[in-house]
Amino acid sequence: MTEQVRESNVIELWAQKYPDVTRWLAKLQVKDRSAYSLYRFCQWSKKSPPELLELKRANPSANLAEKMLDDYVAEAKAKGVRSSIQFHLSIAVRSFFRHNYVDLAKAAGTVVLEKVKPYNKLTKEGLRKLWSWALNPRDKALITFVNSTGVAKETLTKLKWSHLEENWEKIDLPCINIEPELLKGHGQGKYRGVRQVTFLTPEAKRDLVNYKEWIEQKLGRKLTAEDNTWLEVYTKYKPLQYRGFSGLIYELSRNTGVAFSWHDGRRWVTTALEQTGISPNWAKVIRGRKPGGAEAPYSQPNIEMLRAKFREAVPILEFTSSEAPAVPKEVLERIEKLETERAEIRRQYRLRTGDELKEDKKRVAKEAQKADDCPDGEHCAEFSQIPEAQLLAHLKDGWEIIKELSNGEVIVKRVR
């Protein structure tokens, strides 16, 4: 009896028969799911991968391949197939064509994702239960790691010990610096140059140290910088794969009754950062997204500024202790002040006309240069509009923040 093709065996049983498919998969990180989506489309269309490509190459202007993908989406929607399944299949098919240099028209296979259920409600008590019920040091470390760093599941499969800064075990908030190729977009197009610079809370660092010692004992050797961080915990201790991450959190969530996915960890980190009043650009860097406006703050001085800001979020992020430290009073007061100021800025901004906003910008520029006896036009100015990358130097030199602008720049005023 012929073995049934599934997501777990689609590459071995089907994809490897077609060079066009294997060449495409070599460029992807998550291969099994993408291959299975293409397989399903081929089964539906009754065409092999080469026949699909030929459909587009033979008569590009007829858009036969695009219409076929549109027909699949329409039929799947009529049958009640989940929009997430339709969406991934459409993305996989378009990717297959693109990587074989016969792009489909942008409008082909459009799917609107519909959220079926609300986001999981995260609490410290729930996360603590997940962590407490974890079966081994690796799973415990994963729970605190993801809820500290916001690293995505796909990135977790490729993470190595080299991504942690040198001597991380001796640093209170170790930095993790991840290159663009491991993040969303894989460093291509608009994602070129985007990095994720994030940090471990003390409890996440503690669990990672414990896990490292435990897995080294199982391996019978020291881990190297080029070893994958997350390994299977039996037999050959191979790198944990995408499905493995999904399976372990599904089981743990089911056993504890605490609804949780790895993506929820990103939301936990995002919420904590927002409560500290962090700059939107800096929050994007910590989450591994492209910052807007000013040059991305990836230099070492700016990483130290990020670390200092992340420190404010630690009491909000940590959850493994039932007596977790309270958020410091000064942080709470700063959050309240920032929220009040931002609400007033938004209110005033909404009341402004376009001409008034232009006049405001001209006034700030004029005041920043009005000192005639200032040879460099900077140290005597009362106001200045600067990118975030220059903020630390200005604060040390006696300036204070007046307003954060939507383009990522900041208006500062000299106070001494």
CA dist., res. 219 & res. 260, Å (int)? 30
What is the pLDDT, as a whole number, of residue 333? 63
What is the pLDDT, as a whole number, of residue 358? 59
Tokens 């995408």 label which residue? 242
Q: How far is CA 123 from CA 200, 250, 259, 272, 364, in A?
A: 19, 18, 11, 12, 44
Q: Which residue has the higher pLDDT, 252 or 362?
A: 252
Cβ count near 49 (within 10 Å): 23
What is the pLDDT, as a whole number, of residue 374? 45
What is the pLDDT, as a whole number, of residue 301? 59
What is the pLDDT, as a whole number, of residue 285? 86
CATH 1.10.443.10 positions along the chain are: 124-331
What is the pLDDT, as a whole number, of residue 339? 60
Q: Classify 124-331 by CATH class.
A: mainly alpha
- The pTM of this model reads 0.59
What is the pLDDT, as a whole number, of residue 386? 75
Percent of residues, the chain, with pLDDT higher than 70 = 75
- CA dihedral sign of residues 200, 202, 204, 207: positive
Q: At what angle do helices 242-256 and 124-133 cross, to 10 degrees?
A: 110
- 331-382 pLDDT per residue, tens: 556 656 666 666 666 566 555 555 555 565 566 555 545 434 444 444 445 6
What is the pLDDT, as a whole number, of residue 219? 92
Q: Are 115 and 193 in contact (CB under 8 A)?
A: no
CB-neighbour burial class of residue 321 (10 A; exposed 0-12, middle 13-18, buried 19+): exposed
H or E element that contains 111: none
- 132-171 pLDDT per residue, tens: 999 899 999 999 999 999 999 989 999 999 999 999 999 9
Cα atoms in the Cβ-side hemisphere of radius 13 Å centred on 347:
6
Q: Are 88 and 95 in contact (CB under 8 A)?
A: no
- 276-289 pLDDT per residue, tens: 888 787 888 888 88
